[in-house]
Structure formats: structure tokens, C-alpha cells
Structure 1
């Protein structure tokens, strides 16, 4: 092998390594500062988000904290370039009880609010939130049977409207005490009200500090019903929920 050929191949390796390094750095910057992908592993946000949804979360919506970075690196305390979230936002946050686990819920209570659930009806500062009965939500079980759940449209005081499920009219989280949201914290609830560990359960989640917010859920970029394993390429098409692709999270 001549020196000319050898030098050419070494140059190729250097160029390839440089390209890969640039790509990794750009991906890390996008993930830390702009958008991060998440998938939904549980049903706590049904019907808004389904198990198998993949979504982009905007990292810049509320500014940045240590939880904006991989492994929650303790680069600084608090938030920089901070913007306040709005009631009704669907938010990814680090669970306060371990500061590691990513949770996704809807922001219901702002600092200073009093939150309570009475007979399944959400109350904010002593006033019931408007709730309208809709057609049942229908879910196909793995056995093929269809399951039906009572579905409602809930409208918050600021006009944000979304759908919720209330599978048990007298569930253990359908009647709560009054939660007084501390300053600098938020009250989160899942849309699947009887199947969500959220701020109503202090031992699991409780009030969420502003610092723990990771970002706001924006759009579903992919969704699968789980019927196809990763190697079953021939089943990918039928397993994809095409009607959910590029669906905005509201």
C-alpha cells in the first residue's frame, strides 16, 4: 500500500469520525435545548395519550433547569430563561419523590390554588370545573373484547378543554381533601382519573416543583398499538395508528 493510498484512507476515517461527532453533538443540543422524544408506557393519560404513543416535548417552553440535561446534571440550581406554564398544559416532569423518573400529566393547579375532587368532579378554588358527558371511550382488550369507559369533556377556568375518563364513580381518588398548592409548585393530574398516580397521591408524586418541569408535550410523531414486535416488519403497517401521527397534544 502506497503512502498516498494510506493517507487517503486515514483521511476518510478522520472525516467519518468528525461527521459522527458533529451529528452526536447536534443531536445532544437539540435534545437538551429544543425537542426531546418520549414514549408513553402507561395508560394514565388515556384518552389524550395512548400506550404506544411517541411524542416530541419542547424543552424551551418553560426555560431550563438541571433536569433539562441528561442524567439531571447539577450544572445549576433553579431555572434560567424561565417562562411560567399555563393551566391545562400536558407536561413531562421529574417525579419529585425520586427526581429521576419521567412522568407526564396535565397541569391542573397553579401556585396558591386550592384543588379538590368531590364525587369525581374537579374543584378549583372552591368552584366546580365544567364537565360534560360524552360517548363512552371504547378500548380493544388483548383478548379482542371491547371495553367501554365513561368519558367526559372538562373545561378549565382559562378555557382549556380536554377529555377525561372516570371508570369508577366512587374511586378512591374521586373524593379528596383540599390540596393547597405551595408557591413555586404545581398540581398535576392524569386524564385517566381512576388510573393515575399524580399530585393527589403525596407518597407517589405530590406537588411538583417548577425546577422539575422538563417540557411541554407538543405533537405525537408516531403511535403503535403494540401488536407487532420489533422484528415483525411485516406487521408494522397494521400496528401503526396512522390517525394519530402528527396529532397535536391538547
Structure 2
């Protein structure tokens, strides 16, 4: 009997330990840092498919979006942040909030779908943003651009979704060299980063977007392969993003996997360990 009681007590203690560990991990993830694995190529070449990073949630303070969404399709689990912290949604305010800066790379909740997106902050509240021939104009002034050669990568399926890159040099077969033009873009305030070009398309020329108070305008660095604020939410785009939907700032890549899984360590890219995000 004593042995059975001891075993039963051991199982209970194990379960308690697991529960406590999950609670601590959940609190840490909600308040401090959220892991994020780059699933698409919309931020190349700043971020590559397979980059693994932590998002700093302390940068902009806290809102309902700071609560984690838990989605595990294989297990049928789909718990949205609003299911946990929806009581704090709706006032577009933040606790201990601070304003993001133009040029920040930000993870935010899509205003309609609730899924996490990562893009670069281009337009602040009150700004007028427009693209002409692929050049960003902010308050009627073009951003500074400088040629920076080309970005090259091998054509073929990338990441767990097997996404194929689009190439400026036309359709390229598996193993071929996929090329995109690269420029250095410098925003008002001095933040410089690379952007890529693939082709001339409709989103290279837009109307004027006047960013509402309490909202922000985002673009992907891989401009011709990004669903961002240029496309309104009604057309399945991002549109303007409310302040309360910001999750945090991406500052540094921890490691990067060129394979189908982030656990395939033999595919990790040796030049991206602890790489700063600019």
C-alpha cells in the first residue's frame, strides 16, 4: 500500500511540475518574449524563410494582443488571443505603452484574421504614404534609395510550406539561380535597410494612404511579394494596423534553418546566428 501511495504521489508531483512549467512558460511568453519562425519570403532579404527569432514584447507595452494565440492544426487546437484576453480588446490603448519608431520590424496581429504578421513600419499616424514606380513617398517626399547589387538564392521549394521564390530573371528551374534587384532604402529618421524588386506590378503605383490616428502603415521589404498595408482588409490585405494589435519588435535572429524544419540543425545557416535585424 505504501508503495502504491508513493507511486501515486510521484505521478501527482510530476503533473504539478509540468503544469507549473507550462504556466511559467505562458507567463514568460505573454510578458517578455515570443518565439517567431519566419514562414514566408515577404521580408527578404532582411528575414529569410526559416529564420527563428524572439519578439520583444516589452518594447511597446501590453494589450490584448500580448496574450498568445495557440494554434496546433494537427491536434485541432485553435485558441485565439481574444479568447484569452478579449476583455481588454477595443479601446486601442496599451498598458505601459510606448510608440513604435519608423523603420521598426514589427510582429502584429492581422486586424481581421488575428494571425501574426511581420513587416516593417513605414507610416506613422497622420502620415501620407504613396508608392510611385516602386518608390515610397512619405508626406510627398521620396525616400532615399541607393543601388545595392542583387540578391541571389537557389530556386526551389523553401521552408515547411515548400514555397518557391519569385525571380526577376523569370521562371527558374530547381537548383537554378534566382535573382532579384536590391536597393538600400533610407527612411525619414535615418533607418536604412535593403529592399528587393521582382517586377513591375500594380502595387508599385498606389493612391495616397493617410494613416489614421492610432494606426500604422506596414510594408514588406520584398516589396513585390508581400501582402501588406497597400492592400485593404476588404481585399484580404492588411490595411491600417491599430496600435493595440502590435505584439512586439523583432531585434535579433537566433538561428536560421534552410530546411523543412527548424529542428534540422544540419540545415542551419552559419552566417545568421544572433544576427541583428536592421
Equivalent position SS for 2:96: coil
Deviation at 1:41, TM superposition (A): 1.1
Provide the rounded CA distance (Å) in 1 between the counterparts of 2:248 and 2:227. Answer: 19
Provide the rounded CA distance (Å) in 1 between the counterparts of 2:128 and 2:24. Answer: 43
Deviation at 1:229, TM superposition (A): 5.9
Does residue 250 of structure 2 align to residue 217 of structure 1? yes
Residues 158-177 of structure 1 correspond to what in structure 2 (within 5 A)? 158-168=189-199, 170-177=200-207
Q: Are the equivalent residues in 1 in contact too, given 2:65–2:109 (CA < 8 A)?
A: yes
Does residue 126 of structure 2 align to residue 112 of structure 1? yes
**Alignment match, 1:135:** 149
**Alignment match, 1:93:** 108
**Alignment match, 1:181:** 211
Deviation at 1:7, TM superposition (A): 3.4
**Alignment match, 1:28:** 26
Unaligned stretches of 5+ in structure 1? none
**Alignment match, 1:16:** 14
Unaligned stretches of 5+ in structure 2? 69-79, 157-173
TM-score of the superposed pair, with normalisation by structure 1: 0.91
**Alignment match, 1:191:** 221
Equivalent position SS for 1:176: coil
Equivalent position SS for 1:38: strand
CA RMSD of aligned residues (A): 1.6
Deviation at 1:179, TM superposition (A): 0.7
TM-score of the superposed pair, with normalisation by structure 2: 0.82
1:67-109 per-residue CA deviation (whole Å, 9 max, x = no partner) reads 11132231313321111100001111111133x1111100000
Aligned mate of 2:87, from 75, 80, 85: 75
